[in-house]
Chain A
Amino acid sequence: MFLHNLKYEFLQNIRAKSLILWLILFPIILGTFFKIAFSGIYESTTVFSAVPIAVVEDGDNSVFREVMTTLSEGDDALFETEYTNEDAAMEMLEAKKISGILYVAGEKLSITVTPAEGGPSAESIRQTIIKSFGEQYNAHCNIIADTVANSPEKISDVVSALSEDIKCNENIPLTNGNHDNMLSYYYNLIAMVALLGSDLGLNIAVSSQGNLSAIGARKCCSPTKKLVTIISSMVGCITVQTVCIIIAVSFLAFVLKVDFGSKLHMVYLAGSIGGMLGVSFGFAIGSIGRLGVNAKSAIATAFSLICCFFSGLMAGNMKAIVSTYAPWFNEINPAAVISDSLYCLNFYDDYERFTQKIVTMLIMTVVFTIIGFFLTRRRKYASL
Chain B
Amino acid sequence: MAETIVKIENLVKRYKDLIALDHLNLEIKQGEVFGLLGPNGSGKSTTINCLLSLLTFDKGSIEIFGKKMAPDNYEAKRNIGIIMQNVAVFDELTVIENIDYFCGLYIKDKSERKKCVQDAIEFTELQDFIHFYPKKLSGGLLRRLNIACGIAHKPKLIILDEPTVAVDPQSRNKILEGIQKLNEEGATIIYTSHYMEEVEQICTRIAIMDKGKKIAEGTKDELKKMIKNTETVSVEISEIPDDILEKLSTLPHVYSTDFNNGKLEVKCSGGKHNLIRILNVLQESDLHFGRVFSELPTLNDVFLEITGKALRDSD
What residues of chain A have their CB less than 8 Å away from a CB belonging to chain B?
Answer: 1, 4-5, 8, 11-13, 15-16, 210-211, 213-215, 217-225, 229, 380-384
Interface of B is mostly: loop
Select B55's contact among A5, A229, A383, beta carbons within 8 Å. A383
Report how far A222 CA is from B92 CA in the complex, Å. 21
Question: What's the nearest-Cβ distance from chain B to residue A173, in Å?
Answer: 48
Are B90 and A217 in contact, with the CB atoms below 8 A? no
Question: What's the nearest-Cβ distance from chain A to residue B187, in Å?
Answer: 16
Closest to B45 in A: A384
Are A223 and B77 in contact, with the CB atoms below 8 A? yes
Closest to B110 in A: A4
Residues of the B chain whose Cβ atoms lie less than 8 Å from the Cβ of A222? 77, 102, 105-106
Report how far A11 CA is from B101 CA in the complex, Å. 11
Residue of B52, B54, B71, B88 ringed by the most chain A CB atoms within 10 A: B54
Known: A11-B93, A222-B77. A383 touches B149 (CB 8 A): no
Are A8 and B97 in contact, with the CB atoms below 8 A? yes
Residues of the B chain whose Cβ atoms lie less than 8 Å from the Cβ of A1? 104-105, 108
Are B105 and A217 in contact, with the CB atoms below 8 A? no
Are A218 and B54 in contact, with the CB atoms below 8 A? no
Are A214 and B55 in contact, with the CB atoms below 8 A? no
Are A223 and B75 in contact, with the CB atoms below 8 A? yes
The 6 listed contacts between A and B (C-beta, < 8 Å) are A1-B104, A11-B93, A214-B88, A217-B49, A218-B88, A221-B52
| B311 on the A face (CB < 8 A) | no
Report how far A18 CA is from B97 CA in the complex, Å. 20
Question: What's the nearest-Cβ distance from chain A to residue B113, in Å?
Answer: 9
Report how far A213 CA is from B56 CA in the complex, Å. 17
Known: A1-B104, A8-B97, A381-B56. A214 touches B84 (CB 8 A): yes
Q: Which 3 A-B pairs have the closest CB atoms?
A: A214-B88, A222-B105, A223-B74
Closest to A13 in B: B92
Are B56 and A224 in contact, with the CB atoms below 8 A? no
Q: List residues of B (50-79) whose CB comes within 8 Å of A's CBs.
A: 52-56, 71, 74-75, 77-78
Q: A5-B104, A13-B92, A220-B54 are in contact. List 11 more A-B contacts (CB 8 A).
A: A4-B104, A11-B92, A11-B93, A213-B88, A215-B89, A217-B49, A219-B105, A221-B54, A223-B74, A223-B78, A224-B106
Q: Would you give the 0/1 interface string for B81-115, flagging 1 where the beta carbon is closer than 8 Å to chain A?
A: 01010111110110001000110111010000000
Report how far A218 CA is from B54 CA in the complex, Å. 10
| B126 on the A face (CB < 8 A) | no
Are A384 and B93 in contact, with the CB atoms below 8 A? no
Residues of the A chain whose Cβ atoms lie less than 8 Å from the Cβ of B56? 381-383
Are B102 and A218 in contact, with the CB atoms below 8 A? yes
Report how far A13 CA is from B78 CA in the complex, Å. 27
Residues of the A chain whose Cβ atoms lie less than 8 Å from the Cβ of B90? 8, 12, 215
Question: What's the nearest-Cβ distance from chain A to residue B99, in Å?
Answer: 11
Are A218 and B149 in contact, with the CB atoms below 8 A? yes
Are B80 and A221 in contact, with the CB atoms below 8 A? yes
Residues of the B chain whose Cβ atoms lie less than 8 Å from the Cβ of A223? 74-75, 77-78, 105-106
Question: What's the nearest-Cβ distance from chain A to residue B145, in Å?
Answer: 13
Residues of the B chain whose Cβ atoms lie less than 8 Å from the Cβ of A11? 92-93, 97
Residue of B49, B74, B97, B105 ringed by the most chain A CB atoms within 10 A: B105
Question: What's the nearest-Cβ distance from chain B to residue A79, in Å?
Answer: 65
